[in-house]
Amino acid sequence: MLEPHNLLLWSAVLALAAGLWLLVGGDPASVAFTCIAFGALLGAAAVLSTRAVAARHREIFELRNQHDFDENRIERLNIALDALADGLDVGIFLCDERGLVQFANRKVKAMFRADQPKGESILAITLSHELERLVTETIESRRHSSVEMHFTYPEDRIAIVQSWAEPPEWERVYVSIYDVTELRRLERIRQDFVANVSHEVRTPMTLIRAMAETLLDEEGGDRDPTRRYLERIIAEVDRLTLISQDLLVLSSAETGPVRKQACDVAAVVRGIVSLLGDKASKKSLTIRYEGPKHLLVEANSAQMSQVFTNLIDNAINYTVEGGIRVHLSADDEAVAIRVIDSGVGIEAEHLPRIFERFYRVDRARSRATGGTGLGLSIVRHIVESHGGKVGVESTPGEGTTFTVVLPIGAPMPTPDERDVV
């Protein structure tokens, strides 16, 4: 399309050409017709050009309005997101690659008593070198991180801190801080309560058992009701003692980090199979170990012994005929130990709860076998504290399989080092 200034130029050219044509003797009628025709074309072009300019102006106007609308929409979204972040009960930081704060929500400001954190370094606000390192490492690794941190400013607190970088430039880091100080305090109170109760209960139980045994020795005659009652008292005291011991083991499993070292889990399992072999034989059950002779993992040997003693002993208690197989296998990352029995099995409705404290599928049978209701809880807590997991599969009337998976931390044995007990 012709712009208006181009139309004026073409009109001037047309007038000059017509004048020259007349000077050289051109026919006035032909000149007039040609000028009229060309003028009509120029007029049409002018109309079209004017419409095009008007359309272009309208397009620019609409784009400007759309741009203003988008800016307003973005601004409203930013305000809504800021309001949402301020309403969370989790502290939120947004930092650049240098650790300078670009955004901090209301929870963070209250947590660290910072009125104007924007533009300040995260170290200056929190006085935590550990948090500063986490931001730097997140930028470098571009990975999501989650750690539990101890803050000392402005007061002692424990928090779960998560950090993740913003794609695609990976130049900014989001940090969330969830205060779990009160939760950890309550956990510590509960753990102390369990430990204290267990210790306090053991002393009177020891005295009651000693006195009952003394009376039992002094009484004569197996048919004497006093003797029967004293035997019952001793049995119940023994059961309470087992519960007290299991509570202490459970409390120990729940508190503090696990002291790990090189543990030959294959040797531990084979030792327990051998130790409980007599108990299985008395019930006419077979028990065998399948797996390598040696397999090292990073674990606490005493706690591993507790885990597999509980599982294998349970398998013997709840198996009437057949036998128990303990199968150990491993790959480059984990070791799996399966305790497989041909026992009574467990109904599907009970499987999700059998690792709960004091939960019993059959209370009468559990008491008859001497169970405290804490064995599987101890297994779960010990395995999870080692970074592993425990699962169960069972078919009523056919048997049960407990599977313990532990991370491996030492070289694997050669494939031919296998043994069957």
SS3 23: helix
Q: Categorize the per-residue pLDDT at 177 as very low, low, confident or very high, splitting at 50, 70 and 90.
A: very high
pLDDT at 415: 43
pLDDT in tens, 236-250: 777 777 777 777 777
Of 279, 366, 364, give the one whose Cα is nearest residue 323. Answer: 279
Does residue 399 sit in the same domain as residue 290? yes
User: What is the C-alpha to C-alpha distance for residues 31 and 28, in angstroms, rounded to an integer?
Assistant: 5
Residues 272 and 401 sit within 8 Å (Cβ to Cβ): no
Q: Give me the helices (H) in 113-224, please.
A: 122-126, 129-141, 181-218
Pairing of strands 261-264, 296-299: antiparallel
- DSSP E strands in 261-305: the ranges are 261-264, 286-292, 296-299
Domain-terminating residue out of 161, 179, 197: 179
Residue that has been written with the tokens 């009970």 in this structure: 350
Q: If you average pLDDT over each of 11-25, 86-100, 144-158, 402-416, which comes out highest? A: 144-158
Q: What is the mean pLDDT of residues 310-328?
A: 91
Rg (alpha carbons) of the chain, rounded to whole number: 41
Tokens of 189: 């109170």
Domain-terminating residue out of 205, 223, 254: 254
CATH number for position 103: 3.30.450.20
Residue 290 pairs in a beta bridge with 327, 420
pLDDT at 293: 87
Does residue 60 sit in the same domain as residue 36? yes
Does residue 173 sit in the same domain as residue 212? no
Domain-terminating residue out of 221, 254, 287: 254
Phi/psi for 15 (5° steps) reads -65, -40
Does residue 190 sit in the same domain as residue 227? yes
Does residue 55 sit in the same domain as residue 203? no
Domains in the chain, number: 4
Least confidently predicted of 115-124, 224-233, 405-414: 405-414
Tokens of 380: 């779960």
Does residue 120 sit in the same domain as residue 63? no
Host H or E run for residue 160: strand 157-165
Host H or E run for residue 12: helix 4-23
User: What is the C-alpha to C-alpha distance for residues 16 and 14, in angstroms, rounded to an integer?
Assistant: 6
Residues 177 and 91 sit within 8 Å (Cβ to Cβ): yes
pLDDT at 116: 86
Q: Categorize the per-residue pLDDT at 390 as very low, low, confident or very high, splitting at 50, 70 and 90.
A: very high
What range does the domain containing 24 cover?
Answer: 4-82
Higher pLDDT, 8 or 405: 405
Least confidently predicted of 11-15, 122-126, 181-185, 255-259: 11-15
